[in-house]
Amino acid sequence: MDEILSQHEIESLLSAMSSGEVKIEVKQEVDGRNIKNYDFRRPNKFSKDQLNTIELIYDDFCRSFSTLLSGLLRTKVDAKLGSVTQCTYEDFLQKIPNPTILNVFSLAPLEGKGLMEMNPVIAFSIIDRLFGGPGLSTFDGRPITEIEKNVIQRISEKVLLLFKDAWKICYDINPYLEVIEINPQLAQVVSPLEMVIIITISIKIGETEDFMNVCLPCLMLEPIADKLNTRFWFAGTSASSAKDYSQYLQRVVETTDIPLTVVLGNNTIKIRDLLELQAGDVIPLDKPKDADAELYLGSKLKFYGQVGQMGNKLAFKINKACNEGSD
């Protein structure tokens, strides 16, 4: 049986609690809810579902981006979606390097402008590859030259066209490159405290790896906010026809560069003879002088013909196709 306190003992206990001689432990009840801090000064403009839809859009963009750059650079390029987040425009500018490559673009008929920030490490790797190098980044903190800027502009215009295909299920847009800025402080597309959506993409070209960021102001996307939901996305995906995808693959194939190689003939020599070769030496080949040369597309033998001259350039005249194999 529990012990019952007398009136005197109760009064003594209350007096001790009032004077602080007895410490009171307050039991904090935990209801299992995970409570997060909310910043009322910087409220999120888009819901989790809307961000998931944007994530689907740019995950599709990454696959097209990898295909495009792999064809242009003739090397393997991996592009993977990293994250889709919301922050203020001021916070975004503070996180990117200076100098950097800032492509200011519009998405008509949507109002406003967005940014495609390409890290200089990636930009210089692309430039090195296009200029015949192995694709190593030579960025040392210097600004890009006008020639390098023109090269990046042409690449950026092709990349922005991929936005149209990536967004077509949700909304029909017409991307256009407005200008390229180097200093982030000069690219004021919205006020510093406006909320923006940042899509971070990891890009790997050979041994070079860094990031590209796409910055979309929330004000730009607000008119189509109702279309940014996963249900709308999957409904649009199901409705896409196989013909559209076939036309997309056709465009990719038609714009892919393939190296052509003409082989006049072959021979085998010893390493000793190879080391002693000098200008003026003649190497006999295994074919008569009137035999057709071979034209290779990549590593495949496709045509036979003759080497000649057209104007002031060497040329190759196709005499017949190679019928070996099914391709």
Average pLDDT over residues 196-220: 92
245 and 287 assigned to the same domain: no
Q: Residue 16: inside a domain, yes or no?
A: no
147 and 186 share one domain:
yes
Q: Residue 202 belongs to a domain with what CATH number?
A: 3.40.1550.10
Per-residue model confidence (pLDDT) at position 35: 60
Beta bridge partners of 261: 296
226 in a structural domain: yes
| Mean model confidence pLDDT for the chain | 83
Token code pair at residue 275 = 């080391």
Q: How sure is the predictor about 18, in pLDDT bands with cuts at 50, 70 and 90?
A: low
Of 244, 239, 213, 254, give the one whose Cα is nearest residue 105: 213
Q: Do 220 and 298 fall into the same domain?
A: no
**pLDDT value at residue 39:** 54
Residue-range definition of the domain harbouring residue 135? 48-254
- What are 133's two structure tokens? 């190098």
List all residues 6 or more positions away from 193 whose beta carbon is below 8 Å from its beta carbon.
Answer: 42, 88, 89, 90
List pLDDT tens digits, range 229-281. Answer: 766 556 555 545 455 556 666 776 777 778 889 998 888 888 888 888 899 88
Which pLDDT value is given to residue 288?
Answer: 87
Kindly report, residue by residue over 97-114, the tens digit of the pLDDT.
888 999 999 999 999 999
Q: Is residue 15 part of a domain?
A: no
The token pair at 277 is: 């070769």
Return the residue matching tokens 């210089």. Answer: 124
pLDDT at 29: 55
Q: Say whether the peptide bond before residue 109 is cis (omega within 30 degrees of 0).
A: yes
